[in-house]
Structure 1
Amino acid sequence: MMLQIPEVLTKVQVAECLAILDAALWVDGNLTSGFQAALAKQNQQLPQTGEAARTVGAILLAALERNPLFVSAALPRTILSPMFNRYGEGMGFGDHIDNAVRRDPVTGQTLRTDLSATLFLSEPEDYDGGELVVDDLYGSHAVKLSAGDLILYPASSLHHVTPVTRGTRTASFFWIQSLVREDARRSLLLDMDVAIQRLSGTVGAADPSILALTGTYHNLLRQWAEV
């Protein structure tokens, strides 16, 4: 499942975050890479435990907690402290698959990476190139979203960032351990939740069909959730 989640951050929040990030000290992105990633990666990152990353990360995490589509799609158990990268002209990131397990240097927690997320902080017209390209069973999907929008996709996906040829691409990226490990099950639960919300607006939340569907949703979640 690939899912675009619009307006996770408002334009005012994006501007606030960029002001903090632009004033921070960026480092070579390969300081945080494993051996294989380092062969393909050309970008800059913020130290994850630094003040700027933690301040902007807190803004982003608070926004995610308030976003019903993100919560419904990801069913988050643990969210890795957000990280931030920047691609200038000539920078990109070749094909790679994210690590299956990561340790959060901020919280000390270890999590299984079920889902990857990228939140765009630069407007698409401010740079050329820099598309996030994700491969799945249906082909390759190039993603370049408005500032404040987020793309959510399985962390097991092969993906890359095309080279930036003009301007600068700034984004946040992080991983989620979901309550439901399997992507197909998460997709089914999301479809059911969306259907419940739509039908509730038509026939009312107390309608017997809504109560039955809601019961089925929660019974499946009870069976599949890992807590």
Structure 2
Amino acid sequence: MLLEIPQLFSKAEVAQLRAKLDEEPWIDGNQTSGEMAATRKRNQQLDKDNPVAIDLGQLVMDRLMAHPLFVSAALPLQFYPPLFNRYEGGETFGYHIDNAIRSTAEGLVRTDLSTTLFLSEPDSYQGGELVIQDTFGTQAVKLAAGSAILYPSTSLHQVTPVTQGERTAAFMWLQSMVRDEGQRRMLFQLDQSIQALTASNAEQQEIFNLTGIYHNLLRRWSEL
């Protein structure tokens, strides 16, 4: 499932984030790459231990966890904290699949889902599309600043060369409570249907029944 999380941050908030990020030193983006990915990756990144990056990463996670659409689709259990990268002057990241396991100070995280938060307006740079290949076909994503895209970490994906301007973004991985993509998708569709029925003042007993089915499926499929 490929899902846009629109307007996670307002334009004014993006400007504040960028002002803080732009003051920090950028390093070789291969700090967090696996051996194979490093052969395909040319970009810049904030050091993962940079205090500003850590603080802003926490802000991004807090905002995602407060967004009902994201929570419904991802069913997040734990994050690999957000990182910040930048592409310019032809920098790119060729087709790759993300590492299955990431290590944090709290332990290991299985990367079920990936999220990219765009922090540059799409008309401010050329190239830089996030191209994702999966069962939904090939999709080229280039969202407005402040919006995010959620997609399976199992997907083959790339960032095309940025030939003009500058593309800044946050990216992160998370482990879901439900490992299986198909099960997550069914739970998301069921939850969205329940919310739509609730908003339309549908029969309360039917909403009650569907909500019970949702929670019993989540109980059956979750890994808690």
- Normalising by structure 2, we get a TM-score of 0.97
Contact 2:34 2:99 in 1 (8 A): no
Contact 2:125 2:167 in 1 (8 A): yes
Q: Give me the CA root mean square deviation.
A: 1.0
The Cα shift of 1:142 comes to 0.2
Distance 1:79 1:155 in 2: 13
Deviation by residue 1:42-82 (Cα, 9 ceiling, x = unmatched) = 00011111112112112111111210001110000001110
Corresponding residue for 1:134?
Answer: 132
Gaps of 5+ in 2: none
Corresponding residue for 1:164?
Answer: 162
- Normalising by structure 1, we get a TM-score of 0.96
Distance 2:68 2:100 in 1: 26
The Cα shift of 1:137 comes to 2.2
**Bigger shift: residues 71-80 or 30-39:** 30-39
Corresponding residue for 1:36?
Answer: 36
Corresponding residue for 1:97?
Answer: 97
Corresponding residue for 1:4?
Answer: 4
Deviation by residue 1:127-155 (Cα, 9 ceiling, x = unmatched) = 00000000012421000000111100110
| Residue 183 of structure 2 is aligned to residue 217 of structure 1 | no
Question: What code does the residue aligned with 1:162 have?
Answer: T
**Bigger shift: residues 24-33 or 39-48:** 24-33
2:42 is paired with a residue whose SS is coil
**Bigger shift: residues 140-149 or 7-16:** 7-16
Distance 1:30 1:215 in 2: 46
Corresponding residue for 1:82?
Answer: 82
Aligned-pair identity (%): 52
Corresponding residue for 1:65?
Answer: 65
Question: What code does the residue aligned with 1:71 have?
Answer: V
The Cα shift of 1:220 comes to 0.2
How many residues are treated as equivalent by the alignment?
224
Distance 2:84 2:161 in 1: 17
Distance 1:44 1:198 in 2: 42
Distance 1:194 1:68 in 2: 10
Q: Hey, which of these two has a bigger chunk of strand by percent?
A: 2
2:149 is paired with a residue whose SS is strand
Gaps of 5+ in 1: none
The Cα shift of 1:108 comes to 3.4
Corresponding residue for 1:111?
Answer: 109
Distance 2:45 2:99 in 1: 17
